[in-house]
Amino acid sequence: MIVRQFNKSEDVDLLYKSKFREADVQEFKAYGIDNIPDAVVTMSGVPGADIKVVLTDEGQLVSVGGLLPLKPGDGSPWMVATDLFDKHSLSLIKTIKPIFDEYLESYDWLTGHVDVRNNRAVKFLSWLGFSFPKGCGFHIGGTYFQRFGKNGKPLILPGGFLMNPPISMMMETLTVSEVCSLNEEVSSGGSHG
């Protein structure tokens, strides 16, 4: 697999020629986005955005995604895949997991939302180590978007204590409302998973 930075002048045609997974198309539509290539181009213009394309060795698009900055220290990961996802999902995991691990070196918190109907996306996020606090999400029309998250840098507690628990451990010790409140503090608006 080939991973490289998204280049608007080189990759727009590739985006328009690719057939995106129907589940991803439906997830974008639930957000009110009818044109994935246009959305990717728009996201590429967000200051601080890091967008990568993942290609087969033959140059076919498997996925495009990356990280959009929220407030300082917090980012929103997202990805959309083509119909080649099923054929290359194991290679894709091995290819992009180090990228998300690298994001966690620079960001305190990665968070977003995923359409719960998009089973493959939920499973993929789980493989990448993201957790899903129960009861933290929202509806758009009839679609439920579940929040997901992963923490990176250690938390500095009162008294200067450092703590870097897995997000799943934090969710076990906090109530749902506390986790949702924490999530709301670190995100600004609905981000896409």
Question: In the predicted model, is pLDDT for residue 134 greater than 50?
Answer: yes
Q: Among 116, 118, 2, which residue's Cα sits nearest to residue 64?
A: 2
Domain contains 64:
yes
Q: How confident is the model at residue 94 (pLDDT cuts 50, 70, 90)?
A: confident
Q: Are strands 137-140 and 109-115 parallel, antiparallel or unpaired?
A: unpaired
Q: Is 191 part of a structural domain of the chain?
A: no
Helix, coil or strand: residue 63: strand
- pLDDT band for position 152 (50/70/90)? low
Smallest Cα–Cα separation from 8: which of 67, 56, 53? 53
d(CA 78, CA 70): 13
User: Mean pLDDT across the chain, nearest whole number?
Assistant: 78
For the stretch 157-179, pLDDT in tens is 555 544 444 444 443 334 344 44
Report the interhelical angle of 36-44 vs 8-17 (nearest 10°). Answer: 160
The count of domains in the chain is: 1
Say if CB 152 and CB 107 are below 8 A apart: yes
Q: Does 192 reside within a domain?
A: no
Nearest residue to 80 (alpha-carbon basis) of 102, 51, 105, 46: 51
The Cα 64–Cα 3 span in angstroms is 9
Q: Is residue 166 part of a domain?
A: yes
Range of the domain at 74: 2-186
The pLDDT value given to residue 130: 87
193 within some domain: no
At residue 154, the pLDDT reads: 53
Query: Distance between CA 75 and CA 91 in Å, rounded?
Result: 24
20: in domain: yes
Phi-psi region at 48: left, alpha or beta (left = phi > 0; alpha = psi -120 to 50): left
Q: Looking at residue 190, what is its pLDDT?
A: 40
CA distance 170 to 143: 27
- Phi then psi for residue 103, to 5 deg, are -55, -40
Examine residue 97 and state whether it is found in any structural domain, yes or no: yes
Give which of 69, 92, 123, 128 is closest to 3, Cα–Cα. 92
Give pLDDT, residue 15.
93
In a domain, 136, yes or no: yes
**Range of lowest pLDDT (81-90, 99-108, 115-124, 171-180):** 171-180
Global pTM? 0.73
- How large a percentage of the chain has pLDDT more than 70? 78
Q: What's the pLDDT tens digit per position in 62-92?
A: 999 999 998 887 889 988 999 998 898 888 8
* CATH at residue 39: 3.40.630.30
Does the pLDDT value for residue 153 go beyond 50? yes
Which of the four pLDDT bands, split at 50, 70 and 90, describes residue 108?
confident
pLDDT at res. 173: 37
